[in-house]
Structure 1
Amino acid sequence: MDNNISSPFDHYADALLRLCAGLSWLLLASFFAVVFSAGYARADETCAGSNLIEEMAKSDPAKLETLRKEAATTPNGHGLLWKIEKPGIKPSWLYGTMHLTDPRVLKLSDAAQAAYSAADPIVIETDEILDPKGIMKVMAESPELMMFTDGTTLEKVIPADKLDGVKAALSERGIPLSSVNKMQPWMLTSMLALPACEMARKKQGAAFLDIKLAQEAKEKGKQIAGLETIRDQLGAMASLPAKFHIDGVVEMLALGPKMKDIFETMTVLYVQGDIGMIFPLMRSVSPDGTASGQNYAEFEEKMVSARNRTMAERAEPIIAKGNAFIAVGALHLPGEQGLVSLLKEQNYTVTAQ
């Protein structure tokens, strides 16, 4: 089965939303929004990133200890698989995903595989991503969510002193700026951020974890459901200020070669279930090393907290029927406003497995 969405969107964006002003938060959308995971790919590079945690353990153990202490304070910050229980209802499961095709990400633990295999329905962020025409329909109805529709172009909004760098980065991927000049800045950032090896796997037909789970379940005749729509996800991203996205392009270029190391480290943390460590890591590698300001607060509310509330509300009637396996980006799980906490507020017992 061809898992790529065949549309002009393929030439515009691939997976992660990435970086915001002064902070690498949009990288975290590898956990947050599945709709951005089909796209342009060049199949001539391999992943060769280093684990920044291992390097920090040697170069700055005190800094690493500070990050670990911060991670330890995150509610529900460790674990990918969570059991959801309430008397009189068959247990359901909550599983944190990373929207990548890395083989390490695709391999479920024995416990997660058993829960997934026995469950019905299988629930992902948006089941609309299974329909190749879904994104095109939204683009046709609301093109402004992904494209400039008022005569604006990337050349006009990217700072003049950064424009040559953007052109060079695109050229390395075989993409002339003129072919993507009408894209919203966040789509350009997505294109620049994703490692070539990940892009290559998707170009070759590999499905990222969420789609893989849904497709395999569908082939077995199980029910598939979604907690959001494509429009929900695109609308959340498009609602953030333009400067937020433009600054993301600039920071992406500033991080440059470090991107492979960031992806490798995030992947290792994910596989270990050490989700609470990911936000502190992102702060530590961002150009200014901080997590303050309106940009971050707005990103956290619109891309994380608000969506968590929507997911929890829409998941509840599904969980109430029992035996569901709910797979969403792992960073939707931890924190006081995370799905684990929100489901507990609905009087479910939610425990890490």
Structure 2
Amino acid sequence: MNRLRLLVAFLLFSGLSTHGQSLLWQISGNGLAKPSYLFGTYHILRDSFLKQDSLTRRHFEAADGVVVEMVFDSSEAGKVRQYATMADNNLIRLIDASDYKLVADEFNAVTGQELSFYNQIKPVIIASALSVAYARQRSDTLTKFSGQPIDLYFVKQAQAAQKPLKGLETLDEQLTLLYNRQSVEKQAENLVRMVKQKNVPRSQGDNLTDLYLRADLDGMWTLFQRESDSPADLYALIDDRNLRWMSQLRPIMAERSTFIAVGIGHLTGPNGLLNLLREAGYVVKAVK
């Protein structure tokens, strides 16, 4: 009996921890008249990537509706500037002189632009620009893709086809999460640490781009945990949002077959959408 219990426990744990290698997942059962599909995006990837993925394109085109993280309205562009800038502060105040020079030299070398032009931009945005540049440096494959960001591709195509389109979050919600979740002092500290640690040796498995292109969900989840500042930070960025999104996704999928495109980090982990959907009674299968 003990051996049987051990085997059952092992199988259950294995089923929860190993998702398989796929970016596209079918959602069925639990009363759904037609299946929906969940696709994990990589926000800095360009849409020419989809030219080699006819399976994803086919399911996207066949879906009756589309759900993304956020639908951007150009009339709200002023909000982005409002959230992005520091009206009463600047980078020179937040970072001591020697570290500022280090960051400024790195920013110029990587982006070709002077950091002084962006002194009132929040440090997290400078860090994001460097992160994207580093990702492109570390992966020759990533630079081969062209076009618009892959998330924007799904939005534009859904609008062109006049399909029902819904964003799971508003622009204010996303900007608050990305730009105001941490104090600007903490953001500045993280920015300096990123630049100082850029040359710390990394193993091949640490490359997020390679993990994504291999559809290695477990590897990506391990990386997200390791690179996160804290469990609370990971919860705010991933888990809490997933739990809120589930309450929106269930009635949408019940109404129509839906193609759901969200960042790949939201699929993985114990509170990833794949596990939450299964816990809610849906049958979730990798599409290959």
Which residue of 2 is the match for residue 162 of structure 1? 99
User: Residues of 1 paired with 2:24 and 2:71: CA distance?
Assistant: 20
1:276 alignment partner in structure 2: 218
For the structure 1 residues 72 and 208, does the alpha-carbon distance in structure 2 shift closer, same or farther, using more than 3 Å as the test? farther
Check conservation: 2:46, 2:148, Cα contact below 8 A: no
Distance in 1, Cα, partners of 2:270 & 2:192: 31
Structure with the larger helix share? 2
The structure number with the bigger radius of gyration is 2
Inter-CA distance 262–273: structure 2 relative to 1 (3 Å threshold)? same
Q: State the alpha-carbon separation in 1 of the partners of residues 202 and 149 from structure 2.
A: 18
The root-mean-square deviation of aligned C-alpha atoms, in Å, is: 3.3
> Is residue 283 of structure 2 the alignment partner of residue 352 of structure 1?
no
What residue is the counterpart of 1:247 in the other structure? 189
Q: Is the 8 A contact 1:126 1:230 kept in 2?
A: yes
Question: Of the candidates 84, 91, 94, which is equivalent to residue 35 of structure 2?
Answer: 91
Answering whether residue 163 of structure 2 is matched by residue 210 of structure 1, we say no
Aligned residue type for 1:266: L
Contact 1:85–1:348 (CA under 8 A) maintained in structure 2 = yes
Task: Tell me if the contact between 1:97 and 1:209 (Cα under 8 Å) persists in the aligned partners.
Answer: yes
In structure 2, the residue corresponding to 1:240 is in which secondary structure?
coil
| CA displacement at 1:99 relative to structure 2 | 0.8
1:326 is paired with a residue whose SS is: strand
Give me the whole-angstrom Cα distance separating, in 2, the residues matched to 1:221 and 1:261. Answer: 45
Q: 1:206 to 1:111 in 2, by over 3 A?
A: closer
1:111 partner SS = helix
2:135 and 2:191 mapped to 1: Cα distance? 20
SS in 2 for 1:194: helix
Which deviates the most, 164-173 or 324-333?
164-173
Which residue number corresponds to residue 127 of structure 1?
A: 71
Indicate yes or no: 2:270 matched with 1:329.
no
Shift of 1:185: 1.1
Q: Is the 1:95–1:325 Cα contact (8 Å) retained in structure 2?
A: yes
The number of residues matched between the two structures is: 266
Alpha-carbon distance, 1:212 to partner: 0.9
List per-residue Cα deviations over 1:85-109 (Å, max 9, x = no partner).
Answer: 1235211011101012346744463
1:243 CA drift (Å): 4.5
Structure 1 counterpart of 2:158, which letter?
A
Quick one: structure 1 residues 105 and 222, their matched pair in 2 at CA, closer, same or farther if it must change by over 3 Å? same
Q: What TM-score do you get using the length of structure 1 for normalisation?
A: 0.66
Tell me: CA distance 1:322–1:259, structure 2 relative to 1, closer, same or farther (3 Å).
farther
Q: 1:183 to 1:312 in 2, by over 3 A?
A: same
Please give the alpha-carbon distance, in whole angstroms, between the structure 1 residues aligned to 2:16 and 2:278. Answer: 18
1:171 is matched by which residue type in structure 2?
Answer: N
**CA drift at 1:261:** 9.3
Look up the match of 1:74.
17
Q: Deviations over 1:185-218 (max 9, x none)?
A: 101111222228969x99xx83111111221222
CA shift for structure 1 position 246: 2.0
Amino acid at match of 1:337: N
* Shift of residue 248, structure 1, vs aligned partner: 2.2
Percent sequence identity is: 26
Query: 2:276 aligned with 1:342, yes or no?
Result: yes
The 3-state SS of whatever aligns with 1:96 is strand
Q: Distance in 2 between matches of 1:171 and 1:76?
A: 40
Q: 1:128-183: CA deviations, max 9, x gaps? A: 2xx323332x247xx2x32212x211111123331111111232333333321111
- Structure 1 position 187 matched with structure 2 position 129: no
Instruction: Measure the CA separation in 1 of the matches of 2:117 and 2:275.
Output: 44
| Closer/same/farther in 2, CA of residues 248 and 206 from structure 1, 3 Å limit | farther
Partner of 2:61: 117
User: Residues of 2 paired with 1:300 and 1:340: CA distance?
Assistant: 17
Q: Is the 8 A contact 1:93 1:324 kept in 2?
A: yes
Q: Offset of 1:119 from its aligned partner?
A: 0.5
Cα separation, partners in 2 of 1:73 and 1:348, compared to 1, 3 Å: closer
The one-letter code sitting in structure 2 at the alignment partner of 1:335 is G
- Give me the whole-angstrom Cα distance separating, in 2, the residues matched to 1:261 and 1:313: 38
Q: Which runs of 5+ in 2 are unaligned?
A: 1-13
Work out whether residues 66 and 158 of structure 2, in 8 Å CA contact, stay in contact via their aligned partners in 1: yes
Contact 1:106 1:208 in 2 (8 A): no
State the shift of 1:75 in Å.
5.1
CA gap 1:297/1:103 in 2 versus in 1, 3 angstroms = same
Q: Distance in 2 between matches of 1:231 and 1:220?
A: 27
Say if 1:101 and 1:198, in contact at 8 Å, map to a contact too: no
Q: Which amino acid aligns with 2:208?
A: M
Q: Give the SS at the match of 2:74.
A: coil
* AA matched with 1:83: Q
Of the three residues 83, 86, 89, the one matched with 1:148 is 86
